[in-house]
Structure 1
Amino acid sequence: MRLADRLTSRLPGKFGDRADRPVVSMVRLHGVIAASAAPVPRAVINIGAVEKTLERAFAPERLAAVALLVNSPGGAPTQSALVADRIRGLAEDKGVPVLAFCEDVAASGGYWLACAGDEIYAHPTSLVGSIGVISQGFGLDGLIERFGVQRRLYTAGESKSRLDPFLPEKPEDVDWLRGLQDELHAMFRDWVTSRRGDRLAEDADLFTGEVWTGSRAAQLGLVDGVGSARAVLTERFPDAELVQVEGRKPLLARLGLAGSPAASGVFGADGMLGVVQAAEVRATWARYGL
């Protein structure tokens, strides 16, 4: 018997029983889904940021289930798929159920993540859905012309400069983008259909990019029920210990320097990039009034 087990077995009451209790790991997936690093610490979800946390969540020997606490307005489709695929792979390897819980918002890529769960729950006021694809950018060709700026761009390959923000928009480039969006949308639709199956309402068009409250999402079959994570998990696994599994903080965060100007690069060469990234993150949340 391990020393920790011997010590625990001698403790009275609930402390002595704790070593024998099943475990439900709770993993928080919070932020915009993007491949790049976060301009705000721990504000971005991607496979690099969450893989180790997911592996720790599925590691306990007496694991009864894994709960995903999803709070995301979406983002990069590839990162959404990579994280969801990793969750499903770990769940199948361990043979445990995964329950997803939508918090403020599980929209677009956030809902893709939620569909990695075998069951999905939401608060009645949660925002759920947005099963669609969106692209955004700026047209700056008039701006540089106004200030007399010449931009020199040289390419090999006629499609290399598609939708360049400093060039006039071409109809054929927009058609190409829409075709790409349609292909990604079909993948998203197939993923949701494969995960939700006959639980989806047959008489509703769920793939228009619309967003619903948690209550309405339950009626449409996008989620299995309404309720908070702790309430549902306590009822489903009354004898289990709920364990929050968190990612390891970066070194600067552990030293208390993560928010300093020097650490964030606000005044350095990457400062403007950080400002733009922060603005994009803020705009993604703002689409849902958050």
Structure 2
Amino acid sequence: MTEDSNIPPSPTAGPDNRHAHWERDLLERLAFVSLTEQRRARRWRIFFKLFFAAYLLVLLVIFTTDFWSGKSLASRYTALVDLEGEISSSGVASADNILSGLRAAFESKSTVGVVLRANSPGGSPVQASYINDEIKRLRKKHPKIPLYAIIGDVCASGCYYAIASADKIYADKASIVGSIGVLMNGFGFVDSMKKLGVERRLLTAGEHKGFLDPFGPIKPDEAKHAQSLLNRIHRQFINIVREGRGETLKETKDMFSGLFWTGEEAVKMGLVDDLGSTSYVAREVIGAEEVVDFTFRENVFDRFSRRLGTAMAQTFASDLLGRAPTLR
């Protein structure tokens, strides 16, 4: 035996060692492929997360700038503002709320016409006057955007005062329209107090501070003053109607008496231009069938605060101010 025969065989020379090397190489490749796939999957997950975040951001922008503001992605639409319920400074149909909706409607670039949908028995002459004045201002500022009033179930007294300056007024044939007059109401308990043996104790500084006190007999000079006040407001109301309706108005002896009529009769009298609904006016008159609502809406907290404030204000007003003139 030679000297070289004493050298041990190479570790890789045997079939078992060659098999182990092949398995290790395969495992390394599989680990590399798995790592590559994990990296690729991680990149896709990051991509989809970013894409989804961008999608949500776009939706958020759309909803905050268009949906919640009452706007639409359409290039042309009819803007709607609702005048619903009693017109008062503390109610949903206050001048502040109605005017906020009207201003937003006129200022939108996609508005081609505005509809003021009125359904109210009336209310404060001051609030109605604010609405009427702003309608005239907005029409002058935006001469290319018409404003049409649409009467629902009823538009009486202060409601009609508010919408009288619209470009045109529409109603249903069964709508109640009119009641162009002013009232101031209350109660008298003089005889009841005598029967019950109740003595009224009222101290005032000022001859007429207890004006029309319901627990005392009515004073002729105070009744005369109150009637004069009502007459002046009534004349203001009549002038507003004449100015707003113009030559369309066909005056009769009963028109400003406080009576009211159906929409069908109101068309003949010139108080209403034609019969039609909101969708009809949007589609056939304005030419933009899509209607976008710009009406101011209260949230729950605002509604609770308003009712609480109204209750407190009414308590103090009944003690200090008595009854105010009302357009009803």
Coarse TM-score class (shorter-chain normalised): 0.7 to 0.9
Give the SS at the match of 2:271. coil
Q: Which has the higher helix share?
A: 2
Alignment check: 8 A CA contact 2:98 2:295 kept: no
Residue 264 to residue 158, structure 1, CA distance change in 2 (3 Å) = closer
Q: Unmatched 5+ residue regions in structure 2? A: 1-56, 63-71, 319-325
Counterpart in 2 of 1:280?
Answer: none
Q: Does 1:27 align with 2:81?
A: yes
Q: State how far apart, in whole Å, the 2-side matches of 1:101 and 1:220 are.
A: 17
Aligned counterpart, 2:191: 142
What residue identity is the alignment partner of 1:60?
Answer: S
Kept after mapping to 2: 8 A contact 1:131/1:209 = yes
Q: 1:200 is matched with which residue: 230, 249, 268?
A: 249
Task: Say whether 1:215 aligns with 2:264.
Answer: yes
Report the alpha carbon displacement of residue 125 of structure 1 after superposing the two structures with TM: 0.1
1:63 aligns with 2:111: yes
Amino acid at match of 1:66: V
The 1-side partners of 2:136 and 2:150 are apart by 16
CA contact (8 A) 2:282 2:288 kept: no
1:50 aligns with 2:98: yes
In the alignment, the residues of structure 2 paired with residue 117 and residue 128 of structure 1 have an alpha-carbon distance, to the nearest angstrom, of: 15
- The 5 A counterparts of 1:77-92 are 77-92=125-140
Distance 1:271 1:27 in 2: 27
Q: Tell me if structure 2 keeps the 8 A contact 1:133–1:185.
A: yes
Q: Secondary structure of 1:206's match?
A: coil
Name the CA distance, whole Å, in 2 between partners of 1:188 and 1:110. Answer: 11
Higher radius of gyration, 1 or 2: 2
TM-score, with structure 2 as normaliser: 0.68
Once the two structures are superposed, residues 42-87 of structure 1 have per-residue CA deviations (whole angstroms, 9 ceiling, x without a partner) of: 4xx2223333222222221132111010011111111110122122
Partner of 1:32, secondary structure, is coil
The 1:86–1:19 alpha-carbon spacing in structure 2 relative to 1, beyond 3 Å, is: same
Cα separation, 1, equivalents of 2:278 and 2:100 = 22
Question: Residues 165 and 104 from structure 1, CA distance in 2 versus in 1: closer, same or farther, beyond 3 angstroms?
Answer: same
Q: CA deviation at 1:273?
A: 5.0
Q: Assess, with a 3 A threshold, how the Cα gap between structure 1 residues 170 and 203 changes in structure 2: closer, same or farther.
A: closer
Cα root mean square deviation, aligned: 3.0
Q: Which ranges in structure 1 are unaligned for 5 or more consecutive residues?
A: 9-17, 277-283
Q: Aligned pair in 2 of structure 1 residues 239, 109: CA closer, same or farther (>3 Å)?
A: closer
State how 1:231-246 maps to structure 2 within 5 Å. 231-246=280-295
Taking a change above 3 Å as real, the CA distance of residues 239 and 55 of structure 1, as seen in their structure-2 partners, is: closer
2:83–2:118 Cα contact (<8 Å) kept: yes
Structure 2 CA distance for partners of 1:78 and 1:123, relative to 1, 3 Å: same
